[in-house]
């Protein structure tokens, strides 16, 4: 199985949490086949919004969610 990664972001209620203020307005960057390409996409979007402390982008390891019993 591919090690898929999802990159998305949006406005958070507190910059120290992952509590997204408007889940329906999340910016889904995409799904990537490996961590390196996901990290590059995350970095580009995070850098684009660096001056806005309430915007946060994250990388989600989809492969871990799809097969949680498998060791990382």
What is the pTM assigned to this prediction? 0.86
Q: Which CATH class is domain 5-66?
A: alpha beta
pLDDT, one tens digit per residue, over 9-62 is 999 999 999 999 999 999 999 999 999 999 999 999 999 999 999 999 999 999
Q: In sequence order, what are the beta bridge partners of 5?
A: 32, 61
| Complete DSSP assignment for 2-50 | ---EEEEEEEBSSTTS--BS-GGG-EEEEEESSHHHHHHHHHHHHHHTT
Q: Which residues pair with 12 in a beta bridge?
A: 20
User: Token pair of 69, please?
Assistant: 């019993």
What residue ranges do the domains of the chain occupy? Answer: 5-66
Sign of CA dihedral 49, 25, 22, 37: negative
């Amino acid at each position: 199985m591919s090690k898929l990664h999802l990159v998305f972001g949006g406005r958070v209620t507190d910059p120290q949490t992952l509590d997204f203020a408007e889940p329906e307005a999340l910016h889904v960057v995409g799904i990537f086949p490996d961590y390196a390409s996901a990290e590059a996409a995350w970095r580009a979007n995070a850098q684009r919004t660096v001056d806005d402390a309430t915007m946060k982008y994250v990388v989600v390891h989809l492969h871990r969610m799809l097969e949680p019993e498998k060791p990382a």
